[in-house]
Structure formats: C-alpha cells, structure tokens
Amino acid sequence: MTSPVKAPHEAPSLDPSDWDGYRRAAHELLDACIDHLEGVRERPWRPWPADAGSRLALGPADEPVDIESVAREMVEHVLPFGSGNTHPAFFGWVQGTGNAAALLAEIVAGTMNSNCGGRDHGAVYVERDVVRWCREAFGLPDEASGVLVSGTSQATIIALAVARQRALGASSRRAGIHGGPRLTLYAGRHVHSSVAKAAELLGLGSDALRLLPLGAGGGMDLAALAEQVELDSGDGCAPFCVVATAGSVDQGAFDDLRALAAFCAERSLWFHVDGAFGAWLRLADDPWSRLTDGIERADSIALDFHKWMAVQYDCGLVLVREERLHREAFATRPAYLTSQRAGLGGGEPWFCDYGTELSRGFRALKVWSTLRAFGRRQLGASISGNCRLAGYLAELVSAAPDLELAAPVVSNVCCFGAAAALGSHAQRSAWNESVVAALQLAGRAVFSTTVVDGVTVARAAITNHRTRAHDIEDAVAGFRARLGAVRRGGAGA
Ligand SMILES: *Cc1c(COP(=O)(O)O)cnc(C)c1O
C-alpha cells in the first residue's frame, strides 16, 4: 500500500560523493600543512601576489567545485601567504605562533562541530576544565566563572559590563544606564585601546576612562590615581572600576597589581586586570613571575591564549571572581532555551549565560591540547626564555655604538633604534621606520614600531617559542646593516 503522503524532492547533502577521493585529498592536505610547519623557518611573511586575487576570486560562486580541487587551491594559493607570525624571527606587535598540538585539536573540533553555547555534551566539559585550570593558575576562588572568547578585546567588554552592572544594580539591564551619576573608570596611560572601545560600547563614553600618568617604575602613578578618584567623586561622578595593565602592549610594563588591589578594596572599586599576554608571566621564573603578584585579587581578568600561550587564533578568556555577578549581567533564557532536567538540553551552567554569544565554537579543545601536550612547566619555560631573549636583545643593542635602547626592558618587549647622537628626532624616526619595513620586505625579521619620547623606534615583543638566540643576533645585524645603508643613502635627512 502506498502512503498517501509523498516525500519531497531531496537535494544532495554536502558530504563528499567520493569518500575515498576525499580521504586522499585530505591526507595530502594534512601532509602539506605538516611540511609547512616543519619548514616554517624558511617561510617568513610574503606579500600577497598581485595575481592571487584573480586565481581565488569567488565571483558569484553559483556552481560547485569538487572538494579535492578546493583542497589543492588552499594548499597552493592560500597556505604560503600567512602573516609570518609563525616564523622564528617574527617579533612584531604581540602575536602568537600557534603550535602543533592545537593544530590537531582544530581538526577534531572541526569534525565534531560542537556548539558550546550550552547543553550537556563533551565539549562543554572540556571548556569547564580549561576554565578551572585557569582559575587555579591565577589563584581565583572556586566560585570564579569564566568563558572563552575571541580575544582580550571581547573579554574586556564582558568584564567591564559585569563591573558596570555591579555599580548600577541588576535593574540596569532593563533601565539602561541613564539618570544616575556618570560612571568613571581609571587606567594608566599605557592601557590598551580595547578598554576605551569597551567604554564606548558600554555607553560610558571613552571620556569616562581617566588616563593616569605612569610612575618611575613604568606602572600607573598611584598618587595620581587617588587624586583623580577624589576629584571625580567631588564632581558628582561615580568611580566604579580600575583597569590594571599587566604587560603593556607598548613596552611590556606592569602596574603594581598588589597596590591597586588594596586601593580598590578600600574604596569598593572593581579591580579589573588586562593581562592579555603579560598575565602568563604567572607561569614564568622569577623575577618575571613576581610582576603578576596581586592578580589573584582581581574581580575580573581578561587574557589571551593566542599570544603567549601559542594557541591558534582566535582565543581569549574572561575570568570573573563572583559567578553570581557574571551570570546576573548576561543570563537570558527565553522559552526556546529553557534548560531540561535530563538529556542533551540539561548540563547547567551554560556558557551563553556568561557573555554575548549564544552559538560558540569549541575553542577549548585547542587550549586543552596545548596545556596537555606541553604542561605548565614547558609553557612557563618558553615564556621565561622569551624574556631572557628580550634581555639579550637589549644587551646587543646597548653594545652597538650605532643603536640605543628607547626604554628599559621589563619583560619581553624591547624598543630600540638609531643612537641619539646620529641624528635629529625626525631623522632617526625616518631611519628606524624604513629599516623596519626593509627587514620585513627582505623576509629577514619582523619588528613593528612605536613612538617613545617623540621618536619612532623599532619594537620587538618576543612571544615566540621558535625564536633562538641566533635569530636575535641575525635581526640586530640586519638592522645595523640597513641602518648604515639608509644613513649613507640620506633617507629621512
Ligand atoms: C592584544 C592586547 C589586547 C587586545 O587583545 P585581542 O586579543 O587582540 O583582542 C588588549 N590588551 C593588551 C595588553 C594586549 O596586548
């Protein structure tokens, strides 16, 4: 008997029609990726070739191309053109190198395709374990909560939203931030730009972020902080938060976290730590590890795995000392997300209640595989090694008559350039800038630049587990050779 109900026309699924062909292409692709990684020392940044766009252009992308060809296109036309941050002579900005264990995790996570917004499944348990590990590493209590996010910029928004909510009360989620006194927050002048962005997004405005001068040790001037908080309180503002910098992006400097923790406790201010890369000095040897003393007293911490922990992009974390406040700021459960007592729809707490994202990928596995494969000890050794190399770079610079340090090295950042005696501010700025660009274009070394005391200088932030002492020596030799050339060429004169 035929059913009176007729099944609809079925479109093909997106699975490969030829699994054997797919398997072969996938194995070839994996081999190409491993070859690439093994030979990464020969693969510095290369500019994107002029004709690459036409080779890869999607156009309207109406018709299918077989997956095997797509695999070959990616290997031939995309893989060679990374930003070079995997290369051992890459020291620009603050960028991580990735690692071989997390690469494998990306394949597994991509296969599982878990949605980690919530519910009861394996990926969520892995993320909880990662959060637990971090909570313990930074000395936060068992009640602290956390969630993996795209990076410190996003983690900062979440942390400051919790701080704002604590200042205004739970009703502010409905009522908004209108009507009350102006909320103000405080940071040293070296604070990362993501904090001002967060203040803008949270409706506080970037003027609410009071930027304080730095003291002798390179951290926020505490007397100036106390004075500004007094002044604002007297002016009818409502100071609510201090953002401590644990590793400034510019010079790798640290605020005095212990002193700031005490200051915040005394005045009932939220103590947030931006430890994007610097927080990981917690895993390093002394004296660097001591720079993070006091982080265990934070109300919230924002940090990255994709910089100094060598986890593939993108991955950051926000930790919040009081889970209740974290949840209060973000939890929302419409009917279609009601939790079940049993089954896949259970598994409280759900990560979507700790941030703005509902659907979330399985970032935790690449962190888990990194921690598992290398352990706290090896990761800490790599971080300490980077600080030693920054010190070595500073020594080489100091020993070279044509170079000078632009700032003392505190952790892993070294800023330097042409010696002051060689030319004016403007000349040296132009030379330093052109040498940095020349070294990048030659594939020799990647420094970025910053401005210290009005001079554009080269800046190395060493967060690279592949860098050896000879890479530093070679980069300095390259810098000096090109500096000589631009000076003789009269560039910037
Ligand atoms: C990189 C960085 C940020 C921003 O982090 P993203 O992961 O790039 O969003 C914030 N603060 C500091 C100190 C940083 O180095």
Cα–Cα dist 303/275, whole Å:
5
Point out the least confidently predicted range of 42-51, 214-223, 284-293: 42-51
Q: Are 241 and 185 in contact (CB under 8 A)?
A: yes
* Cβ contacts of 213 within 8 Å, gap of 6 or more: 188, 189, 221, 224
Nearest residue (CA) to ligand 1, atom 15? 249
With cut-offs at 50, 70 and 90, classify the pLDDT of residue 341.
confident
CB atoms within 10 A of CB 285: 15
pLDDT in tens, 313-329: 999 999 999 999 999 99
Q: Extract the tokens encoding 31.
A: 């081999």
The per-residue pLDDT of the chain, averaged, comes to 96
Ligand 1 nearest-atom number relative to CA 277: 15
Cα–Cα dist 340/380, whole Å:
41
Amino acid, single-letter form, for residue 147: V
Cα–Cα dist 16/64, whole Å:
12
Question: Which residues make beta-bridge pairs with 284?
Answer: none
Mutate to test the pocket of ligand 1, among 93, 149, 153, 157 (most ligand atoms within 8 A of CB): 153
291 CA → ligand 1 middle, Å: 18
The pLDDT value recorded for residue 476 is: 98
392 CA → ligand 1 middle, Å: 25
Phi, psi dihedrals of residue 119, rounded to the nearest 5°:
75, 180
489 CA → ligand 1 middle, Å: 37
Nearest residue (CA) to ligand 1, atom 14? 276
With cut-offs at 50, 70 and 90, classify the pLDDT of residue 491.
very low
Q: What is the DSSP letter of 246?
A: B
The pLDDT value recorded for residue 493 is: 39
Nearest residue (CA) to ligand 1, atom 7? 151
Which residues lie with the beta carbon below 6 Å from any ligand 1 atom? 94, 151-153, 192, 194, 247, 249, 274, 276-277, 304, 316
Torsion from C-alpha of 348, 350, 354, 356, nearest 10 degrees:
-150
Ligand 1 nearest-atom number relative to CA 154: 9
With cut-offs at 50, 70 and 90, classify the pLDDT of residue 336.
confident
Q: Are 43 and 36 in contact (CB under 8 A)?
A: yes
470 CA → ligand 1 middle, Å: 28
Paired sense of beta strands 145-149 and 316-320, if any: antiparallel
Of all residues in the chain, what percent carry a pLDDT higher than 90? 91
262 CA → ligand 1 middle, Å: 25
The pLDDT value recorded for residue 1 is: 62
Label residue 288 exposed, middle or buried (CB < 10 Å: 0-12, 13-18, 19+): buried
pLDDT in tens, 100-142: 999 999 999 999 999 999 999 999 999 999 999 999 999 999 9
